[in-house]
């Protein structure tokens, strides 16, 4: 590895730590002010032993790595539960699927607005906020377009999440707050697609969650001005169509409990409460 590469990697680690620091500070303020049902519900209590049945979790794309780990932990703790592969996509796409009858036992959304849609449709109950996230600006490795901040996006090739999904709604708010004019080259249905296109060099820049860049060396990361003012709160809930309410509640309890919070913190998420 060359000296320039070593320096670049060190700078990326510094930026990621800054992003997580901004996230933790911002969420401590905003979560304390949240007033929706999702942020005030008490977490369910895990069932004690003897669990059997199946578990299918639908989760926002930004949760994939952390929830894959948590499902592995859950399967080890509950060998008689048939844990199905995690289903991920944009939160809006997932809630539509669940309303239309998809066999989800637990739903985790990247914002409270989408979770409220599930509650209003009668397909989810008792949501509780378990994590928080903020946005960062990403460019391909080496930042060939020389992007330094949101103001540079006007003349750049930019990919964003569609505004119907949480990462897109947050991106729109961040850009509007900054007075930045952006005409995206494409609008994606989840944050993973944005990150994939930027990392592949198909765009000069994109907006993704701070958690999405943890451990990534194929993109450059910039914490944009105003990121701390746009915080996504993540709620989780048992669905009304759960195959086993007891199993579903036990998984939610794992996510909201100490072990789940450690896994989420390692993935870069901020805690749900100060």
- 186 and 122 share a domain? no
- 217 and 139 share a domain? yes
- 41 and 115 share a domain? yes
Task: Assign 8 a pLDDT band (cuts: 50, 70, 90).
Answer: very low
Q: How many domains does the chain have?
A: 2
The span from the CA of 240 to the CA of 62, in Å, is: 24
Containing H/E element for 55?
Answer: strand 53-55
Q: Which residues form the domain of 123?
A: 37-129+232-266
Q: What is the pLDDT of residues 153-168, one digit of tens each?
A: 999 999 999 999 999 9
User: Is 273 a domain residue?
Assistant: no
pLDDT of residue 223 exceeding 50, the answer is yes
Task: Assign 273 a pLDDT band (cuts: 50, 70, 90).
Answer: low
> Would you state the pLDDT for residue 46?
45
User: Is 272 a domain residue?
Assistant: no
> Would you state the pLDDT for residue 20?
43
User: Is 193 a domain residue?
Assistant: yes
- 24 and 139 share a domain? yes
Whether this model's pTM surpasses 0.85: no
CATH of the domain at 90: 3.40.190.10
> Would you state the pLDDT for residue 215?
87
Q: What is the pLDDT of residues 95-107, one digit of tens each?
A: 999 999 999 999 9
Does 25 or 60 have the greater pLDDT score?
Answer: 60
| Most confident by average pLDDT, 7-16, 31-40, 249-258 | 249-258
- 28 and 42 share a domain? no
Query: Which among 241, 243, 255 has a CA at the least distance from the CA of 83?
Result: 243
DSSP 6: H
CB contact at 8 A, 149 and 207 = no
24-28, 103-107, 126-130: which has the minimum mean pLDDT?
24-28
Mean pLDDT score across all residues of the chain:
86
- 10 and 88 share a domain? no
b/e per residue 243-267 (b: at least 16 CB within 10 A): bbbbbbbbbbbbbbeeebbebbeeb
- 236 and 125 share a domain? yes
> Would you state the pLDDT for residue 40?
39
> Would you state the pLDDT for residue 152?
96
CB under 8 A, 24+ apart: contacts of 72-76: 73/254, 73/259, 73/263, 74/250, 74/251, 74/254
Q: What is the pLDDT of residues 27-48, one digit of tens each?
A: 433 333 333 334 434 544 444 5
pLDDT of residue 169 exceeding 90, the answer is yes
CB contact at 8 A, 155 and 131 = no
- 70 and 195 share a domain? no
Pairing of strands 81-83, 53-55: parallel
- 76 and 122 share a domain? yes
The span from the CA of 95 to the CA of 196, in Å, is: 23
User: Is 271 a domain residue?
Assistant: no
Q: What is the pLDDT of residues 37-77, one digit of tens each?
A: 344 345 444 445 589 999 999 999 999 999 999 999 999 99
- 29 and 139 share a domain? yes
Does 232 or 46 have the greater pLDDT score?
Answer: 232
> Would you state the pLDDT for residue 58?
98
The whole-angstrom distance between residue 162's C-alpha and the CA centroid of its chain comes to: 15
Secondary structure class of 1 (helix, strand, coil): coil
- 23 and 69 share a domain? no
- 97 and 44 share a domain? yes
Beta partners for 35?
A: none
pLDDT of residue 258 exceeding 80, the answer is yes
> Would you state the pLDDT for residue 274?
56
Structure tokens at 84: 């199905």
């Amino acid at each position: 590895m060359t000296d320039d590469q070593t320096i670049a990697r060190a700078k990326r680690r510094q930026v990621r730590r800054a992003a997580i620091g901004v996230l933790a500070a911002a969420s401590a303020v905003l979560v304390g002010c949240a007033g929706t049902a999702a942020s005030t519900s008490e977490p369910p209590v895990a069932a004690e032993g003897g669990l059997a049945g199946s578990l299918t979790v639908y989760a926002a794309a930004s949760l994939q790595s952390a929830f894959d780990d948590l499902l592995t932990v859950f399967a080890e703790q509950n060998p008689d539960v048939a844990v199905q592969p995690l289903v991920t996509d944009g939160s809006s796409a997932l809630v539509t699927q669940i309303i239309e009858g998809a066999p989800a036992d637990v739903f985790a959304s990247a914002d409270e607005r989408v979770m409220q849609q599930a509650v209003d449709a009668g397909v989810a109950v008792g949501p509780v906020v378990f994590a928080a996230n903020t946005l960062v600006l990403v460019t391909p490795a080496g930042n060939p377009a020389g992007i330094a901040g949101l103001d540079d996006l006007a003349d750049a090739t930019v990919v964003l999440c569609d505004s119907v999904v949480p990462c897109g709604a947050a991106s729109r708010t961040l850009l509007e707050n900054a007075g930045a004019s952006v005409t995206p080259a494409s609008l994606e249905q989840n944050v993973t697609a944005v990150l994939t296109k930027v990392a592949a060099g198909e765009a000069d820049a994109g907006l993704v969650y701070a958690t999405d860049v943890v451990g990534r060396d194929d993109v450059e990361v910039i914490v944009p001005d105003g990121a701390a003012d746009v915080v996504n709160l993540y709620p989780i809930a048992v669905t009304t169509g759960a195959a086993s309410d007891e199993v579903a509640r036990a998984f939610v309890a794992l996510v909201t409990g100490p072990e789940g919070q450690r896994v989420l913190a390692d993935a870069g998420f901020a805690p749900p409460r100060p």
